[in-house]
Structure 1
C-alpha cells in the first residue's frame, strides 16, 4: 500500500516516479519491470503513474530524458578538452545505464514515442559531434560521415564495454581517421 505523504506538486511527484523507474529499468530491465513495481517504489498507485505518463514507453522516455540530462551535467566544463576526451567522459557517465540502449533500439521499431525520442537523441548527438569535428578542423564534406561513425561508435561502446584505452582508440579512429 502506498505510504501517506504530504501534498506534492505535479513536478515533484513526476520526478519521484521517474527516479523510481530509472532505478528499476536499469537494475531489473525495462521488460521485467512492471508499473506496479514502479508505483510501489515511488510510493504511489499504479493509476497515479497513468495520470502523469500515457504509457510505460512514455515513462521510459521521461527516464531517458532524466538520465541524459544527468549524464550531460557538467559537460560545459569539458569544453576545453579534446573531443575524444569529452566523448569518453559522456560514455563513462552513461555506461551504468547502457542496457537501456538495447531497450531503446528494440522499442524504437514499434513505439512511436520511443522512436521520436531516439530520433531526437540522434539529432542532438549529431549536432554536438558535428560542431566538435568542425572546431577540430575536419573538412565540411567529411563532417556528416564522421558524425555518423562517431554516433555508431558511442552506441557500440555502450552496448559492448571495452577498457578505456580501447574506447579511446575506437573513438580516435572514428573521429580522427587513421594516422
Structure 2
C-alpha cells in the first residue's frame, strides 16, 4: 500500500520511481519486475507511474540514463591512467548491469525509446573509446575500426563472462 507522505516535488517523486525501478531491474531483471512491484517499492500506486512514464520501456530508459550518468561521473574521477585499467573498470562496472545489457539488446528491436537510447549510448561509448585510442597514439585512420573492435570485445565479455585473467588478457590485446 502506498505510504502517506507530504506533498512532493514532481522531479523528486520521479527520481524515487526511477531509483526503485533501477534496483528491481538490476536484481530481478526487466521481465521479472512488474510495474506493480516498482510502484510498491516506490510507495506509489501503479497508476501513478503512468503520470511520469508512458510505459515500462520509458521507465527503463530513465533508469539506464541515470545509471550511465552516475557511471560517467565516476569514470571521470578515476585515478587510473592506463587505457587498460580504464577499460577494465568499464567492463567491471557494466557487469553489474548484465541483465540490463541483455534486455537492451533484446528490446532495442521492438522498442523505439530503447533503440534510441541504445544508439545514443553507443555513440557516447564510441567517442570515449576513440579518445582513449588517440591517447595511446593509434593512428587516426585506424581509430574507427579499432573503436569497433574494442566495443565488440566489451560486449563479448559482457555476454560471455570471462575470468579476471582472461579479461585482463583481452584488454591488454586490445591496446597492443
Q: Partner residue of 1:22?
A: 22
Cα shift readout 1:147-176 (whole Å, capped 9, x = no counterpart): 011111112222222222211211222343
Cα shift readout 1:69-124 (whole Å, capped 9, x = no counterpart): 22233212337611111111122222211111110000000100000000000000
Once residues 90 and 83 of structure 2 are traced to their aligned partners in structure 1, the CA distance between those partners, rounded to angstroms, is 11
Q: Partner residue of 2:144?
A: 144
Query: Is the CA contact 1:58–1:114 (under 8 Å) kept in the aligned structure 2?
Result: yes
Distance 1:80 1:37, change over 3 A: closer
Once residues 7 and 20 of structure 2 are traced to their aligned partners in structure 1, the CA distance between those partners, rounded to angstroms, is 18
> TM-score, normalization: structure 1?
0.93
Whether 1:33 aligns to 2:27 is no
Distance 1:147 1:100, change over 3 A: same
Q: Partner residue of 1:95?
A: 95
Whether 1:61 aligns to 2:31 is no
SS of match in other structure, 1:5 = coil
Query: Is the CA contact 1:72–1:90 (under 8 Å) kept in the aligned structure 2?
Result: no
Instruction: Supply the RMSD in Å over aligned alpha carbons.
Output: 1.4
Unaligned runs of 5+ in 2: none
- Report the count of equivalent residues: 176
Q: Partner residue of 1:46?
A: 46
SS of match in other structure, 1:74 = helix
> TM-score, normalization: structure 2?
0.94
Whether 1:127 aligns to 2:118 is no
Q: Partner residue of 1:161?
A: 161
Once residues 16 and 143 of structure 1 are traced to their aligned partners in structure 2, the CA distance between those partners, rounded to angstroms, is 40
Query: Is the CA contact 1:108–1:118 (under 8 Å) kept in the aligned structure 2?
Result: yes
